[in-house]
Structure formats: structure tokens, C-alpha cells
Amino acid sequence: MTDEVKPGRKREAVRKCPICGRESWRIAYGMMTSDAWAEHPKTEFAGCCVIVEERISPATGKVETGVPEWACQNPECQHRWW
């Protein structure tokens, strides 16, 4: 992966999972064309169904609700967070 950003296109977003440390990808919601899938191979396409999830905040220990923006790609972890 290169750090160069082509005009009109964002760099693929990849983060480390806060639970297992493996690669995590941004989640995209909505209907995506096959061209979008090809352009963004490191994006998890979740379709049109947006589901609000609960989690315990690691910072405060309180229950929070939100829509996941990131998904761990480790099949044993699959942690999702916002």
C-alpha cells in the first residue's frame, strides 16, 4: 500500500483492532456497485441494514450505543466498534 492519494479518492483506511491487534477495516453501509467493491478492497460492505449495537466503553466502563464504523478482520475476534 502506498501513501500516495490519487485525486478524488481517499486512501484505504486500515487500523489495528484494539482487542487482538490484527488488521481492521472501515465499514461502509448502503448499496455498493461492483466498481465500489473493486476500488475499496479493504472495506467491509455491510449492505443497507444499519444495526445499532451496545458496547462497554474501555475508557469509562459505561454502556454506549452506536453504529459500528470499524470491523476486525480476524475471524476469531470480529470485534466491531465506532
| 5-32 confidence digits (pLDDT tens) | 454 445 567 999 999 999 999 999 988 8
pTM above threshold 0.85:
no
Ranges of beta strands (E only) in 1-82 are 14-16, 23-28, 43-45, 53-56, 63-66, 70-72, 80-81
pLDDT at res. 8: 47
- Does the pLDDT value for residue 36 go beyond 90? no
- Does the pLDDT value for residue 1 go beyond 50? no
